[in-house]
């Protein structure tokens, strides 16, 4: 099964048509807790509402119930965040790719935890991509192709002690079989030199963060 699920969480997520389009093109939509308000405003009906439901407002919950959305309520006191529970839910449902929206917000702890879920997803056999209003983030694996425009930004953050064999093509600052170490900033703010670029890695976990720039 090579189907794609979308997880929508209650972080920063503007009402952009591109966000709505990407969500609607997936095969399954998981609404996490307070994100029900976002989906209600977008008139999007999720396939399930999941979480401890401590941040959902009454109007959004009633809207979900009126649409007949199944609700999986978890205890407030638990060992995983609602977003991690949603990730495991997608695994049990057999999805191989997950698009995560609203992962970043005002709480730094939740934002960082959601980014690090890329590692948890990898262990679960999932390809997780975190979408923001200006781009996306995901693990490189062994190879990643990037589509964009000249001047768009690509940052690379090591999530393991050492990422080796890093090769960058199609970038303003190319690399050839380089090593990037955890806690260093060598991979920050590179730029696409054309419409296509690629990243290859021999070993280690490398997070790619793509940011669209405003183009005239």
- Find how far residue 21's CA is from the centre of its chain: 16
Structure token pair of residue 46: 């999720």
User: For residue 59, what pLDDT is reported?
Assistant: 94
Give me the DSSP letters along 82-146.
HHHHHHHHHHHTT-SEEEEES---S-HHHHHHHHHHHHHHHHTT-EEEEE-SSEEEEE-TTEEEE
- The reported pTM is 0.93
Tokens linked to 122? 């990898």
Neighbours of 176 (CB within 10 A): 10
- Residues 6 or more apart whose CB falls under 8 angstroms from that of 51 comprise 32, 33, 72, 73, 74, 82, 85, 86
Which of 147-159 are b and which e, b meaning 16 or more Cβ less than 10 Å from the residue's Cβ? ebeeebbbbbbbb
From first to last of the 216 residues of the chain, give the pLDDT tens digit: 579 999 999 988 876 678 889 999 999 999 999 999 999 989 999 999 999 999 999 999 999 999 999 999 999 999 999 999 999 999 999 999 999 999 999 999 999 999 999 999 999 999 999 999 899 999 999 999 999 999 999 999 999 999 999 999 999 999 999 999 999 999 999 999 999 999 999 999 999 999 999 765
Q: Is the dihedral of CA 30, 34, 39, 40 positive or negative?
A: positive
Which domains are assigned to the chain?
A: 4-133 (3.40.50.10240), 140-211 (2.60.120.320)
Element (H, E) at 164: strand 162-169
Sheet arrangement for strand 196-200: 143-147, 196-200, 162-169, 175-181
Tell me how far apart the alpha carbons of residues 102 and 20 are, in angstroms, rounded to a whole number. Answer: 12
CA–CA gap between residue 202 and residue 165 (Å, rounded): 5
Give the contacts of 5 (CB within 8 A, at least 6 positions apart). Answer: 26, 27, 28, 29, 30, 90, 93, 95, 97, 98, 99
* pLDDT at res. 207: 98
Check residue 14 and give its pLDDT: 75
Distance from CA of residue 208 to its chain's centroid? 11
Bin 16: left if φ > 0, else alpha if -120 < ψ < 50, else beta: beta
């Amino acid at each position: 099964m090579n189907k794609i699920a979308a997880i929508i969480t209650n972080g920063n997520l503007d009402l952009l048509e591109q966000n709505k389009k990407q969500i609607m093109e997936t095969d399954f939509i998981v609404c996490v807790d307070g994100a029900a308000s976002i989906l209600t405003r977008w008139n999007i009906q999720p396939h399930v509402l999941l979480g401890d439901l401590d941040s959902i407002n009454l109007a959004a919950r009633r809207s979900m119930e009126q649409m007949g959305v199944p609700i999986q309520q978890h205890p407030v006191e638990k060992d995983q965040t609602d977003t991690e529970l949603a990730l495991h839910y997608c695994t049990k449902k057999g999805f191989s790719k997950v698009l995560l929206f609203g992962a970043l917000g005002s709480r730094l702890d939740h934002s960082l935890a959601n980014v690090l879920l890329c590692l948890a997803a990898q262990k679960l056999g999932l390809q997780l991509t975190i979408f923001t209003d200006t781009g996306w983030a995901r693990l490189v694996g062994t190879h990643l192709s990037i589509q964009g425009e000249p001047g768009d930004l690509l940052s690379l953050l090591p999530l393991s002690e050492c990422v080796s064999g890093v090769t960058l093509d199609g970038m303003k600052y190319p690399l050839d079989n380089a090593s990037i170490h955890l806690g260093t900033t060598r991979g920050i703010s590179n730029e696409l030199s054309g419409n296509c670029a690629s990243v290859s890695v021999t070993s280690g976990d490398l997070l790619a963060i793509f940011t669209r720039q405003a183009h005239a």
